[in-house]
């Protein structure tokens, strides 16, 4: 399905934030790794969180669900010996489960998105699992991937964090269950470091003890631990909400999003600070972010690695700012659902934006007068590209058509319903 986004000068209204994708995938996993019965209130419903549900069920978790909660009886340290797992297009789900299935005998992760997840690299995690004696068959570091696990013991592990933090998070979920204590050293650099804070927070809630150095480059993990069955509540999702807030910032608006925790560990809460730096009128009180946009924005400079999943929305807002904005330290955007620098900027340019790329930077020369639009956008299978181009469409002179916009459901299936509710002119159409 395609979506047509037409010029929309005004947005008004209130919505509840969608539930956090990153917390949902993590709570589902720690519930599956516990032996008792856990309850998760307000889990996200999206393709990625459904992928984790499906895979933990295949691995032996027993699940029941109603409108507000999911109840999971886990398989502890003994997942069922499945033959195949399908994670859809979910990178984090794949990486976390590549580590956990080291406890299985022989599992193959199939390749159902050859042009998206199928192109993403997993070499650094494969190397780290090799240090635990886990044999991995792969296609040049990519899917399909076959894990021949069995009985990894723990010990010393080195893992690079230069491409993704998900490899480290994956090892942090696995190692507490192993026979021996583990020491994990992060090599090179650690990208998306803030997300590791979310992993550690959830592990602690699940009763797991991990000793982390302050810079998250070194970890001591006692072995023979057990995940405890607990009750969890998922907070609102900043990365998805960032797109709605950026849309409000580029229009004349009065938009409020509820359920956005002020002291959240989600780095993407920086959308609030970045819009403030851009002179967008907003408040953040009682977990409600309210933007009263006047359409005027000022350029900004920002270290994007601290808020990786909100950068595309920030860039879309900067397209309409006065002056030149710079988003730096964002190289790992190249290893996401698409190359979120080259592919994204190609689509922005099509719509009429004035943008430049460096290996690890996005530079935006703002066009407060608006952009031309009137084009067809390739979504590159990327939910965040779809949301970001929708923001641009609101302030284009001619409507833009985003091809295959249904991929927005990877993280935020109700995005266009929320936008329509706020008054955006958006219309689904067959492709
Ligand atoms: O651990 C996680 O759940 C995630 C980590 C981040 O990836 P990288 O560490 O690859 O940047 C983020 O972009 C992704 O959406 C979810
Ligand atoms: C990159 C993302 O997800 P993942 O890496 O889990 O596929 C995302 O949600 O923007």
User: φ and ψ at 90, to 5 degrees?
Assistant: -95, 105
Cis peptide before 22 (omega within 30 of 0): no
The number of the ligand 2 atom at minimal distance from the alpha carbon of 90 is 7
Within 10 Å of residue 200's Cβ, how many Cβ atoms? 17
Ligand 2 mean position, distance from CA 252 (Å): 30
Q: Whose CA is nearest to atom 10 of ligand 2?
A: 309
The number of the ligand 2 atom at minimal distance from the alpha carbon of 93 is 6
Give me the numbers of helices (H) and strands (E) for the chain, helices first please: 12, 26
Whether domain 2-18+236-429 has CATH 1.20.950.20: the reply is: no
User: What CATH code would you report for 21-233?
Assistant: 3.65.10.10
The helix, strand and coil proportions of the chain, stated in percent and rounded to the nearest 5, come to: 35, 30, 35
* 305-340: pLDDT as tens digits: 999 999 999 999 999 999 999 999 999 999 999 999
Half-sphere exposure for 44 (CA within 13 Å, toward CB): 32
Q: Whose CA is nearest to atom 2 of ligand 2?
A: 336
Find tokens 């190609």 and name the residue. Answer: 346
Its ipTM equals: 0.99
Within 10 Å of residue 430's Cβ, how many Cβ atoms? 5
58 is catalytic: no
Start-end of H helices in 5-158: 21-33, 47-58, 91-100, 123-131
* Burial classification of residue 135, based on how many CB atoms lie within 10 Å of its CB (0-12 exposed, 13-18 middle, 19 or more buried): middle
Cα(246)–Cα(318) distance, integer angstroms: 9
Which entry of 48, 50, 305, 309 is annotated as an active-site residue?
A: 309
Does residue 88 line the site of ligand 2, with CB under 6 A?
no
* 358-400: pLDDT as tens digits: 999 999 999 999 999 999 999 999 999 999 999 999 999 999 9
Ligand 2 mean position, distance from CA 382 (Å): 9
Structural tokens at position 367: 């066009």
Return the biggest CA–CA distance within the chain: 62
Where exactly are the structural domains of the chain?
2-18+236-429, 21-233
Q: Determine contact, residues 332/120, Cβ cutoff 8 Å.
A: no
Cα(402)–Cα(407) distance, integer angstroms: 11
Share of the chain above pLDDT 90, in %: 99
- Going by pLDDT thresholds of 50, 70 and 90, the confidence category of residue 431 is confident
Helix (H) or strand (E) holding 420: helix 415-421
Ligand 2 mean position, distance from CA 21 (Å): 9
State which of 28, 98, 336, 415 you would mutate to test the pocket of ligand 2, scoring each by most atoms of that ligand within 8 A of its C-beta. 336
Structural tokens at position 127: 């190397």
Q: Are strands 211-212 and 156-161 parallel, antiparallel or unpaired?
A: unpaired
Q: Determine contact, residues 22/266, Cβ cutoff 8 Å.
A: yes
Please name the residues in contact with 406: beta carbons below 8 A apart, sequence gap of 6 or more: 1
Alpha carbon of 418 to those of 10, 245, 259, 387: distances in Å? 14, 12, 15, 12
- Going by pLDDT thresholds of 50, 70 and 90, the confidence category of residue 150 is confident
The number of the ligand 2 atom at minimal distance from the alpha carbon of 21 is 9
Does residue 355 line the site of ligand 2, with CB under 6 A?
no
Ligand 2 mean position, distance from CA 323 (Å): 30
Q: Determine contact, residues 58/26, Cβ cutoff 8 Å.
A: no
Nearest ligand (C-alpha, residue 167): 1
* 101-144: pLDDT as tens digits: 999 999 999 999 999 999 999 999 999 999 999 999 999 999 99
How many Å separate Cα 374 from the centre of its chain?
30
Does residue 293 line the site of ligand 2, with CB under 6 A?
no
With a cut of 90, say whether residue 271 has pLDDT above it: yes
């Amino acid at each position: 399905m395609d979506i047509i986004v037409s010029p929309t000068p005004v947005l008004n209204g209130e919505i509840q934030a969608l539930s956090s994708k990153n917390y949902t995938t993590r709570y589902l996993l720690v519930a599956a790794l516990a032996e008792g019965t856990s309850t998760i209130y307000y889990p996200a419903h999206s393709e990625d969180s459904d992928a984790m549900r499906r895979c933990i069920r295949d691995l032996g978790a027993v699940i029941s669900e109603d409108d507000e909660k999911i109840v999971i009886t886990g398989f502890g340290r003994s997942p069922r010996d499945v033959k195949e797992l399908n994670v859809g297009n979910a990178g984090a789900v794949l990486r976390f489960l590549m580590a956990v299935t080291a406890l299985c005998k022989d599992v193959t992760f199939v390749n159902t998105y050859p042009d998206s997840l199928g192109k993403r690299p997993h070499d650094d995690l494969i190397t780290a699992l090799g240090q635990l004696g886990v044999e991995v068959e792969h296609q040049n570091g990519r899917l399909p991937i076959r894990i021949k696990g069995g009985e990894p013991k723990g010990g010393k592990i080195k893992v690079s964090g230069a491409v993704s933090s998900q490899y480290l998070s994956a090892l942090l979920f696995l190692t507490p269950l192993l026979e021996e204590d583990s020491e994990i050293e992060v090599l090179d650099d650690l990208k998306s470091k803030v997300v590791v804070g979310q992993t550690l927070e959830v592990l602690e809630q699940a009763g797991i003890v991990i000793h982390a150095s302050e810079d998250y480059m070194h970890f001591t993990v006692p072995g023979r631990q057990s995940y405890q069955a607990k009750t969890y509540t998922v907070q609102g999702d900043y990365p998805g909400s960032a797109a709605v807030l950026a849309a409000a910032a580029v229009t004349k608006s009065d938009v409020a999003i509820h359920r956005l925790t002020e002291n959240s560990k989600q780095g993407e809460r920086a959308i609030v600070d970045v819009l403030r730096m851009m002179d967008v009128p907003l408040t953040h009180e009682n977990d409600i972010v309210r933007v009263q946009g006047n359409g005027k924005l000022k350029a900004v400079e920002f270290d994007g690695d601290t808020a990786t999943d909100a950068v595309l929305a920030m860039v879309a807002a900067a397209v309409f700012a006065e002056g030149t904005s710079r988003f730096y330290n964002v190289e790992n955007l190249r290893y996401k659902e698409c190359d979120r620098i080259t592919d994204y900027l190609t689509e922005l340019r099509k719509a009429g934006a004035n943008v430049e790329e460096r290996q690890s930077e996005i530079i935006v020369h703002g066009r407060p007068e608006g952009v031309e639009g009137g084009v067809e956008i390739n979504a590159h299978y990327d939910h965040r590209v779809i949301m970001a181009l929708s923001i641009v469409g609101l302030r284009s002179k001619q409507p833009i058509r985003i091809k295959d916009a249904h991929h927005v459901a990877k993280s935020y299936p109700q995005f266009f319903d929320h936008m329509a509710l706020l008054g955006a002119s958006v219309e689904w159409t067959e492709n």
